[in-house]
Structure 1
Amino acid sequence: MTSTPPTGVIPPVCTPLTPDREVDVPSLLRLVDHLVAAGVHGLFVLGSSSEAAYLTDRQRRLVVESVAAHAGGQLPVLAGAIDMTTPRVLDHVASVTAAGADGVVVTAPFYARTHPAEIDRHYRTVAAASPVPVIAYDIPVAVHTKLPTHVVLELAADGVLAGLKDSSGDLAAFRKVVTGARDDQGITGFSVLTGSELIVDAALAIGADGTVPGLGNVDPHGYVRLYDLFRAGDRDEARAEQERLCALFGMVTAGDPARMGPGSSAIGAFKAALHLRGVIDCPVTAQPQVPLSEDEVERVGKYLAAAGLL
């Protein structure tokens, strides 16, 4: 990680929980083995699909320690250091790096309204204190701030950031970062990753270095296949694989929107799918998320069957 920015397929690893909502370490390690066996290029723990926002600091550290001890050396392990303000993020950086993380993934500050100058200061302060590379995490739906392109590119040019995970859904802005880093400034040592499951082929065509797909927990082989097909120049087969994955992604709508939010539905679907596939022992999600009903889990199973995964 110190010399090579992250590339390829880097799933944001779900955090299996026990029925009493403690981290299920044996299931977590089986999930890691499931991902490694598929040929992924790295692991991202404590992201959105990991339910990082719901985990206690003790649970966060346990996740990083467990995954780093199990997979460290085989693959780079990135860990989210996500919190509201710079001092709190610095505490998380110290904790996850001591636990074995090879890189940290950091959002803009949130809760308080934030100016681009403050975002710039935030990342520079974090990077100065971090013993490992820092990847910016652009997820405005969660932090209510879109990382400004010029700030990202300036931080990359100054060596502050090793990469960007873009979960903004804004493909035009994503293109500006990619072209700005590659063509206008010739920035090296900086990778751009898409966090969208649905446009990986388009992002790679623009010049993305890889993807961080939540659905990659369920079908890591599919995303590795898509990445490899694109890199081999087989755009038609890559597009076909992307379309298959888009259909599979429909599982995130399994939950009834009249009684749960989209996060409960999506994370619940991923965990239900992993449980149905025999990867994790229990599909429970963290509080206060609403669990899927039996009928909704059955819907998830139909998506898996249609994709040839059951």
Structure 2
Amino acid sequence: MNAGDPDADAAAGTDPGADDPLGLHGIVPPMITAFAEDESVDEAATATHARFLVDRGVHGVFALGTNGEFPLLTAEERDRVVETVVDEVGGEVPVLAGVGAESTRETIERANAAEAAGADGLVVVVPYYFPVDDDGLVEHYRRVADAVDTPVYAYTFPDMTGNELSPAALDGIAAIDGVEGLKDTSEDVVQMQRSLREHPDFTYLIGANRLAHVGLSMGCDGAVLSVANAFPELAVDLYEAVQAGDDERARELQGDLSDLLDAMERGPFLAGVKAALDLRGFDVGPMRSPLRSFSTEQKDALQDALVDLHDDDKLLVE
């Protein structure tokens, strides 16, 4: 397990959750999974994306989140993606692995595999498809945490899972030994404020791109931003501006990230990240069906929009 460097954290002005053995903080992009043209997993391109992110200053990487298209991968493919990312950047930054599934049993199997592969942290999305009540959610996380030695981070994304993580459920989950934090993509600022107040030792990662500045300013330890997959430099600059207390600069950078997101959403769901990476010179392949990639026309429009957002095309050139 590769814990964060407390001295480096202090020097950067960060204040990660006091009980988090990884000291998670900063920008932790939810990586894409690269595919070949036949939609098989392209391990080499996936590793190249991890390297691209780490070389541009991100503070961690998160494999097999929503942008990693994890529900569309087989169990074996998921395990190989984690191994690939750990092999490429493990030991340089914390590597988080998404291990969530519909059932507790499958979640534990993926958690055990990711732990064996060397993942530093395990991200467990709230179970999806079937409705699950508060007691069921707490028991789910307790069983997963009991099955592994690696730190576990809960992940709420009600728009995707159909299940809310209520304040009562979060209270129960936060009390479980081994559960160290939360990735929150609920966009519920009121609940985020409550959670930060009620669980000050819990690591809190904001997962909503348009709320990055708000969340970091409120005390979130880091941000898991899809835009950072294609433009990690801007996301890192935003985090550093907040840490430096430069609110004017942080607001400006948040505006840039939100504008980029607007441009990237002018096409099929999730596909804007891969289209933007392609424009930056990184061929990470198509989306896996039934998700759709940008068409040539949509990609041309994205390039025009990105150039319009900036006086030059520096973001599109390596």
TM-score by length of 1: 0.91
| Structure 1: gaps spanning 5 or more residues | 183-187, 256-264
Q: State the distance in 2 between where 1:107 and 1:291 align.
A: 25
What are the Cα deviations for residues 116-148 of structure 1, in whole angstroms up to 9, with x where unaligned?
A: 001010001100101201100001111111111
1:207 aligned partner, one-letter code: G
Counterpart of 1:79 (choices 83, 97, 103) is 97
Counterpart of 1:94 (choices 107, 112, 131) is 112
Q: State the distance in 2 between where 1:107 and 1:26 align.
A: 26
Q: State the distance in 1 between where 2:159 and 2:90 align.
A: 31
1:298 alignment partner, SS class = helix
What are the Cα deviations for residues 100-130 of structure 1, in whole angstroms up to 9, with x where unaligned?
A: 2111111222222211001010001100101
2:209 alignment partner, SS class = coil
**8 Å CA contact retained: 1:252, 1:266:** no
1:253 aligned partner, one-letter code: E
Q: State the distance in 2 between where 1:30 and 1:109 align.
A: 30
1:67 alignment partner, SS class = helix
Counterpart of 2:206 (choices 168, 171, 194) is 194
Q: Which residue of 2 aligns with 1:129?
A: 147
2:111 aligned partner, one-letter code: V
2:234 is equivalent to residue 232 of structure 1: no
**8 Å CA contact retained: 2:127, 2:161:** yes
Q: How does 1:264-275 map to 2 (within 5 A)?
A: 265-275=268-278
**8 Å CA contact retained: 2:46, 2:284:** no
Q: How does 1:101-250 map to 2 (within 5 A)?
A: 101-182=119-200, 188=201, 190-250=202-262
Question: Structure 1 pair 66/273, CA: closer, same or farther in 2 (3 Å)?
Answer: same
1:271 aligned partner, one-letter code: K
Question: Structure 1 pair 266/37, CA: closer, same or farther in 2 (3 Å)?
Answer: farther
Q: How does 1:58-69 map to 2 (within 5 A)?
A: 58-69=76-87
Q: State the distance in 2 between where 1:198 and 1:283 align.
A: 26
Q: State the distance in 2 between where 1:5 and 1:135 align.
A: 12
Counterpart of 1:285 (choices 284, 287, 303) is 287
What are the Cα deviations for residues 203-258 of structure 1, in whole angstroms up to 9, with x where unaligned?
A: 11211111000111110000100000110110110110110111111123322xxx
Aligned residue-pair number: 294
Q: C-alpha root-mean-square deviation of aligned residues, in Å?
A: 1.4
**8 Å CA contact retained: 2:269, 2:291:** no
Q: Which residue of 1 aligns with 2:9?
A: none
Shift, 1:95, TM fit? 1.3
Q: State the distance in 2 between where 1:110 and 1:26 align.
A: 30
Q: Which residue of 1 aligns with 2:62?
A: 44
**8 Å CA contact retained: 2:28, 2:224:** yes
Shift, 1:282, TM fit? 4.2
What are the Cα deviations for residues 67-103 of structure 1, in whole angstroms up to 9, with x where unaligned?
A: 1011110011000011111111111111111122111
Q: Which moved more, 1:283-292 or 1:300-309?
A: 300-309
2:49 aligned partner, one-letter code: L
Question: Structure 1 pair 296/132, CA: closer, same or farther in 2 (3 Å)?
Answer: same
| Structure 2: gaps spanning 5 or more residues | 4-19
Q: Which residue of 1 aligns with 2:304?
A: 302
Q: Which residue of 2 aligns with 1:260?
A: none
Question: Structure 1 pair 3/290, CA: closer, same or farther in 2 (3 Å)?
Answer: closer
Q: State the distance in 1 between where 2:61 and 2:125 align.
A: 18
What are the Cα deviations for residues 49-76 of structure 1, in whole angstroms up to 9, with x where unaligned?
A: 1111111112111111111011110011
**8 Å CA contact retained: 2:213, 2:254:** yes
Q: Give percent identity, aligned residues only.
A: 33
2:182 alignment partner, SS class = strand
